[in-house]
Structure formats: C-alpha cells, structure tokens
Amino acid sequence: MPLTRRAKQGLAAALAAGSALTAFAAAAPAQAGTAAGTSSAGTSVEGSPVTCTSHRPGLADRLERDIAASLHGHGKASALALYDRTTDTSCAFRADTAFDSASVVKVTILGALLRQVADANRHLTSREVDLTTAMITKSDNAATNALWHQIGHDGIQHFLNLAGMRDTVPGPKGTWGRTQITAGDQVKLLRLLTSDNSVLGTRSRSYALRLMNRVVPDQRWGTPAGAPGTATVHVKNGWLSRSTNGWRVHSVGVFTGGGHDYGMAVLSHDNRTMENGVATVERAARAINRDLNLPKAS
C-alpha cells in the first residue's frame, strides 16, 4: 500500500537516522478430527517452509498460505515468527536466520538495563529514564550508544543468556546496529515482555511495554499494519542501509488488551529502498493481523 504523507515524512527522517546508525557501526491444516497442535511440512516460499501450529481449526493452514503469499518474491531475504496465546498459535519462517539488527536491538538493550537495575536492587535513575525513553520512543541513536556502553558487553550477554536468546550475537566493537538477531529470538523477547517470568519482573515489563506503546507516530509502521482497533499496540522498528544486502527493515510488535495476546517479528534485507522494506514487512503484518482476528466460526 502507498505510504501516507505523514509516513513519507517519517521515512525521510529515518534515512538520516539510518545513516547515523551505519556510522555506529505449519502446521497441518486444522480440521475436524485432527489433533490440536498437529504440525506438517508447511507451505514453502522460494524453497523455505512456513510452518504454523494452532488449536483453532483451520487457522494454521490459513496463516501458512497467507504468510507465504505476502512474502512471495522476497522469501530469500525475509524471516518471520509469531505467537498468539489466545489460540495457542505459532508460526515460523526462516526464524533462525541471522540479520543485522538495526534499531530493533534497542528493546534488547532496554531489557538488559532493566535486568541490571533489578540485580542491583535499585530504580532507574532520571538519566536512565531519559535515555531509555529517547531510545525506544524516538529511536534515538545517541541515547542508545550511551546505554550500550553503560551496560557493557557482559551485561548484554548476561541478559541474552537468561532470556534464552542463544542465536543473538552482540555487534562488534560497540556497533549495536550490527548485532546479529533472528526472528525466533525476537519472539522469545516479546514473550518475556508479556508474561510472568524470572528474567524480567512485572515493573520492568510494564515499563518496557509502556515505552513501546509511546513510539512517535512516524515510526508506528510495520507490525501494527492492519492491527485491530481494540488492541493496545507496542512496537519497535529498525532500519539500516549498508553496501551489502541493501536496506535492512525490521519490525517487532506485541498486541495486548481487548482479548488480544499475541506478538510477531518480521525481518527483511535486500530491500532497494527503505520504503520497499516497509511495504514487505507490512504485507506480512496485515496478513497475520487479519487472520488472527477473524471472527470465530459459529
């Protein structure tokens, strides 16, 4: 879909942010009589399978088909993972493939800081509140750089170990935007932010989600595309252009409230322009948001 005038203005601002960042640098169709959660080989996109499982009859098959259609032509340069607790649904497409993180790593940095604060049995300082707010709501690179160095490699890695994000590799020599991430690990992080766990306490999770809900309007593209109006949307996007693999454009989001409890990560590279990448991510997001929110069959 064409971007709105406001979104185009946001993309222009994002190009400048991307340049700064570079410098820092399936299930079987659920049918009557089929056991819930049964999985099959899934539907392929350019040789890679989309695999889904679901306890809602027919949903896994629909998601596989629609995700595959949405990524047609970009299947070798994208990845996706999602969960929906209300229907016990999950999907994966190249979910263990590594991508340069761009700014979606900022949620991981926030998680690592919140874990350090909890371990020290203290509250965030006013400086840390200012930095984390700028980092998440405005995707501010200078704030991210300050927090990345404050937390340190060991602090980031400690959080990754606790979170079970074993495929995530912090960027070399302070280049946080080149952290290697996977869609699967990003969904692990989103699950942590939206459920009781021993890694992040209630206060930390609420703080992170509140910031993701307050992302500035021009950066609310990506996974929120097609989201139901009854859901509370929490999002963080990333964009980065390099000489190899073109534009990296990623989006992670969780959707809560109003009976919703799901999240997704959509990653892409080899985009000719940032706008092309946004379109790729949003095609997949619209398909997922639509399918997860179809009325139940009577």
CB 107 within 8 A of CB 136: yes
What is the chain's mean pLDDT, rounded?
A: 89
CA distances 144 to 62, 109, 295, Å, are 39, 8, 41
CA distances 76 to 42, 109, 270, Å, are 16, 28, 9
CB 56 within 8 A of CB 87: yes
Q: Residue 122 corresponds to which tokens in the numbers above?
A: 């203290």
Which residues share a beta bridge with 79?
A: 267
Which residues share a beta bridge with 90?
A: 53, 83
- Alpha helix ranges (H) inside 77-201: 105-119, 126-137, 141-163, 183-193
Q: What percent of the chain has pLDDT over 70?
A: 85
- Alpha helix ranges (H) inside 164-201: 183-193
The closest of 26, 126, 128, 31 to 68, measured between CA atoms, is 26
Sole residue written with tokens 């299930």: 27
296 pLDDT tier (thresholds 50, 70, 90):
confident
Which residues share a beta bridge with 253?
A: 235, 264
5 pLDDT tier (thresholds 50, 70, 90):
very low
103 pLDDT tier (thresholds 50, 70, 90):
very high
The closest of 214, 286, 237 to 13, measured between CA atoms, is 237
The pTM (predicted TM-score) of the whole model is 0.87
CB 190 within 8 A of CB 110: no
Please determine, for residue 265, whether its predicted confidence score (pLDDT) is greater than 90: yes
Which residues neighbour 127 within 8 Å (Cβ) at sequence distance 6 or greater? Answer: none
Q: Which residue has the higher pLDDT, 27 or 186?
A: 186
Residue 276 C-beta-side C-alpha neighbours within 13 Å = 15
pLDDT, tens only, 32-46: 333 444 444 569 999
The whole-angstrom separation of Cα 280 and Cα 258 is: 27
Report the Cα 198 to chain-centroid distance in Å.
21
The whole-angstrom separation of Cα 87 and Cα 98 is: 28
Residue range 65-82: average pLDDT?
96
Amino acid at 196: D
The closest of 161, 167, 222, 171 to 192, measured between CA atoms, is 161
Return the SS3 of 147: helix
- Alpha helix ranges (H) inside 2-125: 5-23, 59-70, 105-119
